[in-house]
Amino acid sequence: MQMQHLYQPFEIELIKADVCPMSEHRHSFFEFIYFLDGDGAYYMNGAKFSYNAGNLFLITPMDTHYTRVNNTTTFLFIRFSNIYLRAQQAEAANAHLGDWTRKLEYILQQGNNMQGCLMRNPGDKPLVRAIMDAIVQEHEKQLSMHKELLQQLINTLITIVARNISFSITDKVASGHNLAMDIINYIHLNIYNPTRLRAENLASHFNISVNYISEYFKKHTGGNLQQYIINYKLSLVEARLQYSDMRLNEIAFEFGFTDESHLTKTFKKYRGVNPTAYRKDILQ
């Protein structure tokens, strides 16, 4: 199977074709695929989805995918690497992007679990189309500062997609139980601060008895509260191991583990392998 690589922070490609421009393949970077027109079938990791104009898909590293075109299709590919992600993280502190890197992280951890097109809010589709048209225009004309503008357009797109992913997750929580969704959002926002995620602090924040909050969470989401927290945290640790060159002690510090040994023991307990071996297997 063909393996593609990206040797620059981000890349835009526009292709109009009657057949899929690529056979089944995978790559080492992230990719948005937007269909400006046409229709057909999109295959990802063995699953089949129909696509039409206005559909948007997210491909994460090592996903296998290809397309079967029914009617002539214009593909807009937006590719970005971990170099791009690190650059955004470095700039975010001074760019006032509204915690953009956390939104991106949320997408990478939740978006590939969604089925089919990422867009869930019909009202966002015209906005996304306008952004895509602007990306195409900047890419083709390449006027002064087009790269900087493209970067801002991509960041805006990611924020909109993050919102749509949150809609999808909200739909999974029982209707009328918004508090359960608030707890989930609070966990995502504070995953880097273990103190705030202790049962007594969660209970205090949401004005629920400390003896009841775990039961409440399970009743309305079907999952264990502490298990959800640790699984979400470890999914972010996995992303660090896969997409960054951070050392284990740096990852441990970022997520509030006591030290590297604490991270290693926790990761092995829940993932069945230590983080060093996990990273080695992923990079092979």
At residue 142, the 3 state secondary structure works out as: coil
Average pLDDT of the residues in 67-85: 86
- Residue 18's pLDDT is 92
d(CA 118, CA 131): 15
| pTM, 2 dp | 0.63
Residue 202 has pLDDT above 70, yes or no: yes
Of 11 and 9, the structure prediction assigns the larger pLDDT to: 11
d(CA 105, CA 88): 11
- Residue 74's pLDDT is 96
pLDDT digits (tens, 9 = 90+) for 118-136: 888 888 999 999 999 999 9
pLDDT digits (tens, 9 = 90+) for 32-72: 999 999 999 999 888 899 999 999 998 877 788 899 999 99
- Residue 94's pLDDT is 44
Which residue reads 């972010």 in tokens? 236
Residue 17 pairs with which residues in a beta bridge? 73
Q: Which homologous superfamily does the CATH classification assign to the domain defined by 2-170?
A: Jelly Rolls (2.60.120.10)
Residue 90 has pLDDT above 70, yes or no: no
Most confident of 11-25, 241-255, 257-271: 257-271
Residue 84 has pLDDT above 80, yes or no: no
**What average pLDDT is seen over the chain?**
83
Domain spans, the chain: 2-170, 178-283
Give residue 227's pLDDT band: very low, low, confident or very high (50, 70, 90). Answer: very high
Residue 275 has pLDDT above 80, yes or no: yes
Q: Which CATH architecture has domain 178-283?
A: Orthogonal Bundle (1.10)
Residue 160 has pLDDT above 50, yes or no: yes
Residues 250, 192 contacting (CB under 8 angstroms) = no
- Residue 105's pLDDT is 63
Residue 175 has pLDDT above 50, yes or no: no
| Backbone φ, ψ for residue 72 (5° rounding) | -40, 130
Of 155 and 268, the structure prediction assigns the larger pLDDT to: 268
d(CA 180, CA 110): 17
Residue 194 has pLDDT above 80, yes or no: yes
